[in-house]
Amino acid sequence: MGFAFDEQYAGLKGDNESEPLPPADLVAVAVCIATRFTQLSTTANIETLGSAYSMLMFDFSGPQAVTANATSQAVQGTAAAFILLPFIFLDIGKRLKQRTVNIACILGLLAFHVITYPWGFGNSSVTVHQQDSLNGGCDASRFTWCSATPKVNKWLYYGSLCMVFEVSFAISNVVLPTLFSKVIGPRRQGTMQGIFQMSGSIARMIAPVFLNLVYSHFGPRGVWQVEIAQLVLTLSLWFVFLARLVPLEKLRPREEESQKRTA
């Protein structure tokens, strides 16, 4: 293969004609990687606890929970497809302010968790029983938090999941990798992109196990509190390091000369 093809990289100059590039801002890189971790861990939370959560909160039976969540997934996929169509046909990605959009997406994920948090404003609590029930509810013989857990309105939950959570996730899934690529700069990106994607895979590996333990000991409130804290921390990183989350630019000739003189 090496004798038959000449490897070329679009947008990159060869080693003999390359211009000096400053190193990528590791702080900006770390913020993007941390955001990817948060993004995938929140998704893993919904996927892992979806059926158990709906059986607990809405008294669904097993088959009803599967049907409800499958329908929700279909609606989420449809919403994501319509949201992403402008990126394909109208090329709006070039006109969006990527940092602002990423912050808005994190706020959207945070808003979903705040909206669907079991605040207890109503008078109803989850249905409590003393043994496994085919009709859902909370097994008080297994969980100590059953009687203290308020219900969440199912229309509010599924509506927020499809229209707030999924829209925020879909847009972030396009804009965040684009910004990360620009932060690295016009150089070979295989290693850094691999680390970026690996952070999401690690999140999907760790989050379900950890959140299952939190759910067992503290219930949905504990899981939501962990997710809210994670999203607030990620959002804080964006506000603190916003000025550094910019595309990497090539050194100007005068800057090169000044660096050579000071070296």
SS3 call for 138: strand
> Residue 250: pLDDT above 80?
no
The answer to whether the pTM exceeds 0.85 is: no
pLDDT at position 256: 46
pLDDT of residue 22: 72
- pLDDT attached to residue 82: 85
pLDDT band at 255 (very low <50, low <70, confident <90, very high): very low
Count of beta carbons in the 10 Å neighbourhood of residue 65: 20
Q: Name the more confident of 189 and 222.
A: 222
Give the domains, in start order, of the chain with CATH numbers: 26-247 (1.20.1250.20)
| pLDDT, mean of residues 79-87 | 81
Question: What CA–CA distance (Å, rounded) separates 57 from 54?
Answer: 5
20-51 residues labelled b (16+ CB within 10 A) or e (exposed): eeeebbeebbebbbbbbbbbbbbbbbbebbbb
Give mean pLDDT, residues 74-94. 78
Cβ proximity of 127 and 75 under 8 Å: no
**Helix axes 98-115 and 26-58, enclosed angle (nearest 10):** 30
Q: Is the pLDDT of residue 161 over 50?
A: yes
Give Cα 173 to chain centroid, integer Å.
Answer: 8
> Which tokens sit at 249?
């630019």
Which has more pLDDT, 113 or 193? 113
